[in-house]
Amino acid sequence: MPVFGAADFDHHENVVFGCDEATGLKCIIAIHNTKRGPALGGSRFWNYENEQDAITDVLRLSKGMTYKAAVAGLDLGGGKSVIIGDAKKIKTPDLMRAFGRVIESLNGKYITAEDVGTTVEDMDHIREVTRHVRGKSTGSGNPSPLTALGTFLGIKAAVKHHLKTDELTGLRISVQGVGNVGYYLCQYLHEAGAKLIVSDINEKALKRVEEEFSAQRVSLEEIYSQEVDVYAPCALGATVNDQTIDQFNTSIIAGSANNQLAEDRHGQALLDKGILYAPDYVINAGGLINVAHETDDYDLGVVKDKIDNIYTTLLEIFQRSQKRNLPTSLIADHMAEELFKEPTTAEAAQ
């Protein structure tokens, strides 16, 4: 179970393993980079098949948060945490407090927030033992609607650039995953006149978007091959991979999921196929922007103004990609690295 030798280890500053026998807590916190500030990233509660999968996930997610914070212009670094287990069976207030004590031991280097499998209520329990938490019920609350807003604006930017229109009316958009963020994204898209095709493992969530937004459901396997204008992955990552790329029948991939490319080379594969890709950590930064501005004088108007920048940032990435004939994922990486990587001695001397 390597960490330093793992394919996704990228000079992470800290990888911390936490355990509490009394509550059953098993967690991993990965801090990728803190050159711009403390690492902020959510806590994912997931029933991983094995511990290596958990390590891979937390390494990839934490690195993505560094890039996300940098491109969003936030004075924050990148980190992430995972809690291993079935949240429906083992999650308790005591377990979340035990997790909070692990966070507290890092002395503010890592700040947590909601993610898959955790809630605002969980953040309140964590807050009982550490102040290094955002997204509390007394703060900005659930970040999902604002993550969805940024994703919606990102889809509009992609449509503007690739399809040369400002309108979503009549466009066919497939949304994979209609949970917290996916639901709100469907709402925005429906109000904008898009026709929705959806898939999810949760029957209740599917029925909700069917009834409220006239969405058409398809199976988990069929979602990739739908003839659509936009494919919006809003569930777990790595849905752009060797198996799915040949199935895609879309012009644009733009969704809220993290780590959508299974491997970096898949960005080039999408470019070769003529599919415009909205880099995940750019388009889904709305939730991070929201919790980053969670202060005593929290101002939703200021937050939404910052989220509006996702549209213009993506247009810049698309234009640079087109001009240089490079994958949008690589262009976004370069933009982020300029902001958080320290120059070498040789570079600084030039």
pLDDT of 98-146, one tens digit each?
999 999 999 999 999 988 899 989 999 999 999 999 986 766 667 889 9
3 state SS of 253: strand
Q: Mean pLDDT of all residues in the chain? A: 94
Known binder of ligand: residue 177?
yes
What does each C-alpha distance from 336 to 83, 211, 212, 269, 340 come to in angstroms? 28, 40, 38, 22, 7
pLDDT at 154: 98
Known binder of ligand: residue 228?
no
**Mean pLDDT value of segment 195-224:** 97
**Mean pLDDT value of segment 13-33:** 98
Alpha carbon of residue 247 to chain centroid: 23
Known binder of ligand: residue 241?
no
Q: Which residues contact 56 (CB under 8 A, 6 or more apart)?
A: 6, 7, 8
Reported pTM = 0.89
Q: Which residues contact 18 (CB under 8 A, 6 or more apart)?
A: 25, 26, 27, 28, 29, 98, 99, 102
Q: Which residues contact 274 (CB under 8 A, 6 or more apart)?
A: 251
Spell out the domain ranges in the chain. Answer: 14-63+76-127, 144-337
pLDDT of residue 349 exceeding 80, the answer is: no
pLDDT at 87: 97
Phi, psi of 333 (to 5 degrees): -60, -45
Just list the catalytic residues: 80
pLDDT at 1: 67
CATH topology match: 14-63+76-127 vs 144-337 = yes
Residue 209 tokens, joined: 């978007």
pLDDT tens, residue by residue, 161-206: 999 999 999 999 999 999 989 999 999 999 999 999 999 999 999 9
Known binder of ligand: residue 85?
no
Q: Which residues contact 102 (CB under 8 A, 6 or more apart)?
A: 16, 18, 25, 27, 29
Residue 71 tokens, joined: 């491109």
CATH superfamily of 14-63+76-127: Leucine Dehydrogenase, chain A, domain 1 (3.40.50.10860)
Known binder of ligand: residue 258?
no
Known binder of ligand: residue 139?
no
Higher-confidence position of 322 and 237: 322
pLDDT of residue 223 exceeding 60, the answer is: yes
Instruction: Find tokens 């940032």 and name the residue.
Output: 313
**Phi/psi class of residue 24: alpha, beta or left (left: φ > 0; alpha: ψ in -120 to 50)?**
left
Decide: 177 and 233 in contact? Cβ < 8 Å.
yes
The angle formed by the CA atoms of residues 81, 282 and 177, to the nearest 5 degrees, is: 65
CATH superfamily of 144-337: NAD(P)-binding Rossmann-like Domain (3.40.50.720)
Total Cβ atoms within 10 A of residue 216: 14
What does each C-alpha distance from 94 to 24, 90, 100, 107, 346 come to in angstroms? 10, 10, 10, 21, 51
**Mean pLDDT value of segment 35-62:** 95
The angle formed by the CA atoms of residues 172, 244 and 205, to the nearest 5 degrees, is: 55
Side-chain half-sphere exposure of 54, counting CA atoms within 13 A: 24
